[in-house]
Chain A
Amino acid sequence: MSFLRVNALSVAYGKAYALRGVSLHVEEGESVAIIGPNGAGKTTLLRAISGLVRPADGDIWFDNVRLDRLPPHEIVRLGIAHAPEHRRLAPQMTVLENLELGAYHRRDRKAIRQDMEHIFELFPRLRERLGQHAGTLSGGEQQMLTIARALMARPRLLLLDEPSLGLAPLVKKSIFDALARIQQDGVTVLLAEQDASLALPAVSRAYVLESGRMVMEGPSQMLRQNDYVRQTYLGL
């Protein structure tokens, strides 16, 4: 049994299907990307895994627990943290308060402080901005905080939605550098990303999602050689 397994998942918003019979698996310690154009259903897939939308059909399993009927807060407790698209932070809360919110269900204060130190090694900028309101951070800093907040839950699986969205190339690079270090720490990562040229080198396997269907999957090395992927997503 895989660490995370999604079987024939369909999600509908009213009558419009966002996902149709999508299957996916992620093994422990692995990094997997979902690439695909805007509106393909990447965000919906991550939201279904973390319980923020209910599937119309299919099922989701994490570490032998069925997720698709659990509320989001219980899914977080199982060890899945979601860094949502558009960096949804609480703007009038400080950086520190946002981080505390991420660790909200944990009781181990000492470990929380250690994790916070670790996060500041990962994102030194956040330490400098500790008392500042999240709404006053730059886009890149907000993205760092979104990831940091998710890490504060000490997840076993990190769901990362479009971390590069709207960021300058240099900032994108620093986010993906941090991602590599998060993987080294042993966190399993499932990444949804439009920018395949960034996502594919960062992961071992990837799925291509188009109009709510999985059209391709394989090791990222292989996908990078694939003609269709090269033309459509890498622009080569």
Chain B
Amino acid sequence: MRISLRRGVVLGREGWPLWAGVAVLVAMPVLAPTPYILHVFIVANIYAVFAASWDILSGYTGQLSLGHALFFGVGAYTAGLLSTLVGTPPLFNLFAGAFMAVLVGLLEGVPCLRLKGPYLGIVTLAFAEIAFSLAFALSSITGGEEGIIGIASLVRGSIYIKYYASLIFMLACTLALYALTRSKLGLILLAIKADDAAAEAAGVDTTRYKLLAFLISAFFGGLAGAYYAHYLNIANPETLAIPLSAAAITMTLVGGMGTIIGPVIGAYVLSLFFDLLPVVAGQVEFLTESRVLVYNVLIVLIVLFMPQGIVGWWRGRQAEPEVSSMRADPSRPQAQA
């Protein structure tokens, strides 16, 4: 048997549903009955990148972040301030926002490296809450509750052009993250998640790689936030708030943790469900009025019946029966063998 050490990008594992999904997304402007649906998809694309950025840190490397909106918000506010005060071009602001998020990630990551599990989660939550409070406290700069308004659009023109721009943005970011998980770096991050002491014993400088995962995650989180600001033309405290941090987590749980493709699918499923329920169920008053309830019931059902998310469920179905029943469940703590 020939041993191959090359770890290329292999998207084939997900099989035809992945390619069918991409085809549907490309054809969406033709399929969508109203332009409003394209708007929902644009926001879903941005959330997909954001959720995938959470997944690389928490799902893939096992470093629990409960305040991931911090990076999104920093990206959004940075882009907003640059656009309205300095007037720099949106494309520049995207990367400036991502860069600022990386700096904040460094500020947060360095003191957090010794923390594990729930402790890390609490501190990341606190960091996001501090930033949320600052958005109100520094209202002369941030615009307080109103936020920053009148941010330039990244793409001018019809909703179709905006939709394709967001699709390219989403595909580029998630493909980059996916390729990263398939690289040697991905192997190291996975080893850190499995058992960081063992990774250390194998010679991995775990501190350095945990920080690297933090910074990569912050970069894509900030990029998503800046894109959001340049699409909706606003940056408000909601971009730093707990519900957004929670959204990254629920989207990833629904789609499948540690898979990068999972959060993307989760972002679509949940965004579409939440935003289109009133459209589809317009006649049924109960469903429209209690959509938050229905949305949360859906999350509970998915987590109950697909504990590894949609991608995990699909991979389990694809695998040989005897292998799938023996496969270690990455979402649960592993027993010491």
Interface residues of A (CB under 8 A from B): 50, 52, 71-73, 76-77, 81-82, 84, 86-93, 96-97, 100-102, 104-105, 109, 112-113, 116-117, 127, 130, 133-136, 139, 142, 149-150, 153
Contact = CB atoms under 8 A, between A and B. Distances in A.
A101 B204 contact: yes
Contact of B198 (A90, A96, A104, A130): A90
22 contacts: A73-B203, A76-B201, A76-B203, A77-B203, A89-B195, A89-B337, A91-B194, A91-B337, A92-B328, A92-B330, A97-B187, A100-B5, A101-B202, A102-B203, A104-B188, A104-B202, A104-B203, A113-B3, A113-B5, A130-B3, A134-B328, A136-B328
Contacts of B204: 73, 101, 104
A149 B191 CA distance: 13
Contacts of B206: 73
Contacts of A150: 202
Given A76-B203, A135-B327, 9 more contacts: A81-B203, A82-B201, A86-B336, A89-B194, A93-B191, A101-B188, A104-B187, A127-B1, A149-B202
B191 A101 contact: yes
B114 to A, nearest CB: 13
A139 B337 CA distance: 7
Contacts of B203: 72-73, 76-77, 81, 102, 104-105, 153
Interface string B1-16: 1010100000000000
A96 B187 CA distance: 11
B327 A133 contact: yes
Given A130-B1, A136-B327, A50 B336 contact: no
Contacts of A105: 203
Contacts of B5: 100, 109, 112-113
A138 to B, nearest CB: 9
A100 B336 CA distance: 22
Interface of B: 1, 3, 5, 184, 187-188, 190-191, 193-195, 197-207, 323, 326-328, 330, 334, 336-337
A231 B185 CA distance: 51
B201 A52 contact: yes
Contacts of A113: 3, 5
Nearest to A134: B328
Contacts of A88: 195, 197-198, 201, 336
Nearest to B208: A73
A125 to B, nearest CB: 13
Report the 4 A-B pairs with minimum CB-CB distance, sorted nearest first.
A76-B203, A135-B328, A90-B194, A88-B198
Nearest to A109: B5
A65 B63 CA distance: 34
Nearest to B186: A97
A100 B201 contact: no
B316 to A, nearest CB: 13
Given A112-B5, A116-B3, A130-B3, A102 B194 contact: no
Contacts of A92: 190, 194, 327-328, 330
Contacts of B188: 101, 104
A72 B200 contact: yes
A88 B195 CA distance: 7
B301 to A, nearest CB: 25
A218 B187 CA distance: 43
Nearest to B206: A73
Contacts of A73: 200, 203-206
A192 B1 CA distance: 35
A91 B204 CA distance: 17
Contacts of A96: 3
Contacts of B200: 52, 72-73
A98 B72 CA distance: 34
B47 to A, nearest CB: 27
Contacts of B199: 90, 101
B323 to A, nearest CB: 8
Contact of A133 (B184, B205, B328, B336): B328
A133 B190 CA distance: 13
A84 B201 CA distance: 8
Contacts of A116: 3
B332 to A, nearest CB: 10
A104 B192 CA distance: 13
A68 B323 CA distance: 44
A52 B197 contact: yes
A93 B336 contact: no
B201 A91 contact: no
B328 A91 contact: yes
Contacts of B337: 86-87, 89, 91, 135, 139, 142
Nearest to A117: B3
Nearest to B192: A90
B319 to A, nearest CB: 11
A92 B336 CA distance: 13
A11 B323 CA distance: 44
Contacts of B195: 88-90
B59 to A, nearest CB: 12
